[in-house]
């Protein structure tokens, strides 16, 4: 499956989680629920994936963590905040650049309309 096919299935999983739980919970609750939905769809994923950084000749394992990495192709960054800030958008773009991946989804579950709270981010490599 390519990134677009995966993102379509992932969005469906996000909608299922939101429709079942609604807004107002902690990110950790949405993380567990979304993991369960991905498992139900048979999608391979990893949770809390470390992201290393290279600076000049130095390799730094500095503790950045991707919430969910689906099929080693799509990053999902989960938020449950009143308002997404620019830094949240920049965070996932930076994760894409550091990992060399093409596609990420930033989702804020603390919303009245989940369809307006899923943001597709593309790394132009």
pLDDT band at 46 (very low <50, low <70, confident <90, very high): very high
| pLDDT at residue 67 is higher than 80 | yes
| pLDDT at residue 63 is higher than 80 | no
Q: pTM of the full predicted structure?
A: 0.92
CA atoms within 13 A on the CB side of 68: 29
Which residues have C-beta within 8 Å of that of residue 2, sequence separation ≥ 6?
73
Domains of the chain (ranges plus CATH)? 3-122 (3.90.320.10)
Q: How far, CA to CA in Å, does 21 sit from each of 34, 85, 102?
A: 11, 23, 29
Give mean pLDDT, residues 52-69: 84
pLDDT band at 119 (very low <50, low <70, confident <90, very high): very high
| pLDDT at residue 105 is higher than 90 | yes
| φ/ψ (deg, to 5) at 2 | -90, 175
């Amino acid at each position: 499956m390519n990134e677009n096919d995966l993102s379509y299935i992932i969005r469906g999983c996000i909608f299922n989680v939101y429709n079942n739980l609604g807004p107002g919970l902690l990110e950790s609750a949405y993380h567990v629920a979304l993991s369960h939905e991905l498992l139900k769809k048979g999608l391979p994923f990893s949770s809390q994936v470390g992201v290393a950084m290279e600076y000049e000749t130095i390799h730094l394992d500095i503790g950045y963590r991707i919430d969910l990495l689906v099929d080693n192709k799509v990053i999902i960054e989960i938020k449950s905040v009143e308002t997404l800030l620019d830094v949240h958008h920049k965070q996932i773009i930076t994760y894409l650049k550091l990992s060399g991946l093409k596609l990420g989804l930033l989702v804020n579950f603390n919303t009245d309309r989940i369809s307006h709270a899923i943001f597709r981010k593309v790394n132009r490599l």
